[in-house]
Amino acid sequence: MRFGERLTKVVAERGPLCVGIDPHPGLLASWGLPRDASGLERFTLTAVEALGDSVAVVKPQSAFFESYGSKGVAVLERAIAELRAAGALVLLDVKRGDIGSTMAAYAAAYLDDASPLAADAVTVSPYLGFGSLSPAIDAATASGRGVFVLALTSNPEGASVQRASTADGVSVAQSVVDAAAARNAGVTPLGDVGLVVGATLGDLGVDLSDLHGPVLAPGFGAQGATVADLRRLFGEELRGVLPTTSRDVLRHGPETATLRSAVARVKDSLAS
C-alpha cells in the first residue's frame, strides 16, 4: 500500500491532526523531568502512550533526540517502533537535504525497512535543487513511504529564498510545488510527495490546486494558527491538510490522561 493510501485511511479513522513529539528542555523541566537521557525516555514514552492509538500522524523532531547522543537515538528508535505498532503513522522530522550518495544514505537511514530509524515519512529540504531529492523520493515510493518537502515555512528568514523568483518568473516555492505535483500525477487517492506549508503564513502566494498530495501545516494552536487560518490558506474542505501542533498538547503533561484530553479538544476544534 502506498503512503498516500495509508495516510488517507488513517485520517478517515482518526482525523487529520498531526502532533509533534518535541522533547524541548523547557518541556522536560515543566514535566519535572531531568534534562538527560532518562528524562527524555520518560517524556517520550508518555507521549507515545497518549498519542499512538488516537492520533493519525505523530511527528518526532529528530534533533531533540540526537542532542543526547546514542542514548537519545535509541529512545527515538523505540518511539518509532511503538507508535507504528499502535497504528499511528510516524513522520520523522529530519529536514535532510544533500546530493548523490549522501542523500541515498539518508534515504537508507529513514526510508528502508532494514533501518531501526525507518519511519512512515520524513521531512526533506529541496534547496540543493528538487532533483537532489530523487534518492529519497524513489526509496520512499519503493517501500510504501512518503516525503514532505519544505515549500513555504513561516520563519521570517525563509521568505528571502522561498519567495524569490526563478529564471522562469515563478517563485522558488511554486517551483517546489510544481515539482511535487509532477511526482504525484496520476496517483490515487493521494500522492506520496507532500509539502510543508506553514499555517501561520499571512498569505499563501502559491497554487496548490495540482499538488494531489498531503500538506503538513505546522503552527496550529499555540503558535497562533486557527481553524479559520487553515481554511483561508487551504480551502474549506482541508483535503489532504495535516494541521500540526506540539506544545498545545504536550504542555498538558506529564499525566497521560490530561494529554489524551488535550488531543481530544484539539481534534474537536478541527471538526467544528
Active-site positions? 95
Whether omega before 189 lies within 30 degrees of 0, making that bond cis, reads: yes
Candidates 208, 199, 145; CA nearest to 180 is 208
Measured in degrees and rounded to the nearest 5, phi and psi for residue 24 equal: -65, 140
Q: What is the spatial distance between Cα 7 and Cα 174, in angstroms, rounded to a whole number?
A: 24
User: What is the rounded distance in angstroms from the CA atom of residue 219 to the CA atom of residue 227?
Assistant: 11
- Provide the H-helix boundaries in the chain: 3-14, 25-30, 37-51, 62-66, 69-85, 100-111, 134-143, 159-162, 172-184, 227-234, 247-250, 256-271
Question: DSSP letters along 3-64, please?
Answer: HHHHHHHHHHHH-S-EEEE---HHHHHHTT--SSHHHHHHHHHHHHHHHTTT-SEEEEBHHH
Q: Which one, of 47, 16, 57, lies nearest residue 267 by Cα?
A: 16
Residues 6+ apart with CB under 8 A from 74: none
